[in-house]
Chains A and B, each alone.
Chain A
Amino acid sequence: KAGVTQTPRYLIKTRGQQVTLSCSPISGHRSVSWYQQTPGQGLQFLFEYFSETQRNKGNFPGRFSGRQFSNSRSEMNVSTLELGDSALYLCASSPRGGGADTQYFGPGTRLTVL
């Protein structure tokens, strides 16, 4: 079974631009969660989608948004990029989400904001 895939793997943007990251979950998984990983803050939860609905959201500004499609693929968007948005963005999928479902992570997208 193929794992979680994320595209692109690397991105370089400048301040003020916007960016869209994509995540394809493991086949059959309906829950997709997004995390931001930085050296200073570690892994922080952004949001979770299940059946095309945002089910939970972390403490990030409204510049961070996401969506999920009917095939469970998910995208996240960051508008008006800031230098502090430079991070590894990780996507994780699980069968149903909640109930201590194991989350399986993708390789991440490394975003650099100049």
Chain B
Amino acid sequence: EDQVTQSPEALRLQEGESSSLNCSYTVSGLRGLFWYRQDPGKGPEFLFTLYSAGEEKEKERLKATLTKKESFLHITAPKPEDSATYLCAVQPGRDTASKLTFGTGTRLQVTL
């Protein structure tokens, strides 16, 4: 069974204080690993897709990396508007259907 574990559950940072969120996974043949951001009461907003170990992607203050067992979302010099829940999800490679298995997320709060 596919499993995704995210840590920490919650993280409080001061503006400008960089940190990393962790996503550990077990999956039968990884087809893709996805990062989403979710604001309260809204649907998840797509951030990145990573396909293979060693891959990295960046967008503004966010950088996602992937190894064979985990992914990291690095947040550099965060701002209050980066406050949200960050979700990690994996898609297995054993079939062609779109079944994502999600972690429970990391709630990030960035304060002034």
Contact = CB atoms under 8 A, between A and B. Distances in A.
Interface residues on B, range: 20 to 34
Contacts, number: 72
20 contacts: A33-B100, A42-B102, A42-B105, A43-B44, A43-B87, A43-B102, A55-B96, A56-B97, A58-B99, A90-B44, A92-B98, A94-B98, A97-B96, A102-B49, A103-B46, A103-B98, A103-B100, A105-B43, A105-B44, A105-B46
Nearest to B50: A100
Interface of B: 31-32, 34, 36, 41-46, 49, 51, 87, 89, 91, 95-105
Given A105-B45, A106-B43, A99 B100 contact: no
A55 B98 CA distance: 9
Chain A interface, >50% SS class: strand
Interface of A: 4, 31, 33, 35, 42-45, 48, 50, 55-56, 58, 90, 92, 94, 97-108, 110
